[in-house]
Amino acid sequence: MGRQIFDSRGFPTLECLLEMEDGFVVQSSVPAGASVGHYEALELRDGDKKVFNGTGVLKAIYTLETIIAPALCQKAPDLIAMDELLIELDGTPNKAYLGANTTLAASIAVARAQAYVQGLYDYALLAELFQQKPTLPRCMVNILNGGMHADNGLVFQEFMIMPSQQVGMNETMSIIFDVYQTLKHLLHDAGHITNVGDEGGFAPQLVPKGLKKQYAALDFLVQAIERAGFTVEDVSICLDAAANYFYDAKTKRYVIEGDFLTSADLVSFYEELIKRYPIFSIEDGMSEDDWEGWQLLTEKLGDKIHLIGDDIFVTSTEKLMRGVEEGVANGVLIKPNQRGTISEAYAALALGSNAEYLTIASHRSGETNDPFIADFAVGCAAGYLKVGACVRGERVAKYNRLLAIEKTL
């Protein structure tokens, strides 16, 4: 059965409950993004503007209970076979019929049911099905928010930090905690508010305009790293530029508070950033439709840092294959709700891994307390994981799950 619950941004989302023969109930719930690529699989929403401004999921519940449940129930749970059935039932390239939120809720529930039947942890089932060695991911942790995640004028959407070396989860959390809390005090002492954005990172109103505002944010990050007792060799910075949201398709310019940049101008700006700061990766450095810009970016910086494609690839094997063939990016973000089933998300991850792209499993800005993405990252050996800041319950649930998994490995 389905149930309408609410995500971390207060929007309706879908919870799926699946009862086993012995009465045990497995549950799953799905996230939603604020920063959504145009080519992502479609969610099924109610569309009635009078109720939750059209974002309700009663249609998804009806679909889950009247179309999906009859096709899956009374059968032994089999994730791969049932994902194939969900894809067949939908029959569209973008889940326009059943909705990616509906199919993903079912897919996760089936995975948990199969893990329960086989007496396995969720990550262990995925590792067995996809023939991977369970691997704890390195965590890219969002500590400053901008873009679509905070109304503060910062154009870049996420300013993240990550321990530069592979360390255990307790040490990872200790490093992140120290830098995060130090940043809070630095912002406070500089007269900035320390409210947080959608993903738990601070959302200060920084004074400089245009490109210089990004420098100001990065200066705070470096200062926090060093004030917390680390060096820029100990802690790296990861950026999500989310360039879709400052790209003007008509003029083919990137607009940053009055600055109008060509793709080449923006690449030059990124080149300057990586000279000044310990930047490990830049996600969505160009718009999803600016393939030429992406090629230029990869040509200029691909041998220096990791260039992560999210909106341009949207967890699609077809789009990722084009990227590999055309020399676009060298990393890929994997978001299961961009496709609608675990199997499709893993297929994109495997393709990226085989092409020697950095592979990063990722949450969404509108999250629930369901920690499945942590199990997905470990069981599918993603290598890296984004789940937001180390605050707010829906984010901390994922970190706590990783701490628990570490004890079992």
Catalytic residues: 199, 335
**Cα(331)–Cα(340) distance, integer angstroms:** 21
Q: List strand residue ranges (DSSP E) for 99-145, in order.
A: 138-145
Cα Rg of the chain, angstroms: 21
Beta bridge partner(s), residue 18: 26
Residue 156 region, left (φ>0) first, then alpha (ψ -120 to 50), else beta? beta
Question: Which tokens sit at 274?
Answer: 């990586």
**Cα(17)–Cα(225) distance, integer angstroms:** 43
Q: List strand residue ranges (DSSP E) for 22-80, in order.
A: 25-29
Question: CB–CB of 32/11 below 8 Å?
Answer: yes
Within 13 Å, how many C-alpha atoms sit on residue 212's CB side? 5
Residue 370 region, left (φ>0) first, then alpha (ψ -120 to 50), else beta? beta
**Cα(385)–Cα(390) distance, integer angstroms:** 13
